[in-house]
Amino acid sequence: MKKIIITGVTRGLGRALTEELIRLGHTVAGCGRGAEGIMDLRLAHGAPHSFEVVDVANPTKVSIWAAKALAPGDTPDLLINNAALMNDPAPLWKISADEFGRLMDVNLKGVANVIREFAPAMVAAKRGVIVNLSSGWGRGVSPEVAPYCATKWAIEGLTKALAEELPKGMAAVPLSPGVINTDMLRQCWADGAASYPKAEAWAKAAAPFILALGAKDNGQSLTVPGFDYQG
């Protein structure tokens, strides 16, 4: 049984992945911004699982969450940075500074905030895998989603650099989930999202794939098998 830390658990991929990991017998400590979703998870899954309302863009709140999520001597086996925002589709020059900044705060700074709090225990133990959710738009681009693309390209670089900093035996992996019918996909592609699998079907394949990641995968840009964009 693994101890798993995951962000963005209240909906979409994070919620589906959390439910599947728990079903498989693992212990999950998760966070999300939605208080209602966190309460639902608390009611559905008691101890040893734990769920907290946290905005990962706030380093102080992330630090407080980490102190609650990890008992003294606890070391996560798996850290999954899933929390992210999508911009409302528009040409870059029409996207406000506030909206652009919010994506950077959550999608990029939020990942660094979480790693800063949870990675030291993993590094000290010289074990564990850090998975940072990337995207096909972290390896390619599309119009009207420039801020999102920018954050996911940054996640690719950040994760690959992190992979070179970790001790032998650990891994950091930029993982594209593939294309899944979620609120985020519908936000930027309303007409096409319905033709893709739902998050629950994705989680059935993604959970065992992620659980099998190890030192051999360090620094590799991976995609959940079977969920590549087919055009």
Query: Which position among 51, 65, 137, 148 bears the catalytic label?
Result: 148
- Report the interhelical angle of 12-23 vs 35-44 (nearest 10°): 10
Q: What is the DSSP letter of 174?
A: E
Its sign, for the CA torsion 145, 148, 153, 154, is positive
Phi, psi for residue 88 in degrees, rounded to 5: -65, 125
Tokens of 161: 């650099």
Residue 84 CA, distance from chain mean position: 7
Continuous H helices in the chain:
12-23, 35-44, 59-69, 97-103, 110-125, 146-165, 183-188, 199-211
Residue 106 CA to residue 31 CA, distance in Å, equals 13
Which one-letter DSSP state was computed for residue 215? G
Query: Which residue type sits at 91?
Result: P
Burial status of residue 128 (CB atoms within 10 A of its CB: 0-12, 13-18, 19 or more): buried
Dihedral of alpha carbons 192, 195, 200, 206, sign:
negative
Q: Is 148 noted as a catalytic residue in this protein? A: yes
User: Which residues form the catalytic set?
Assistant: 148
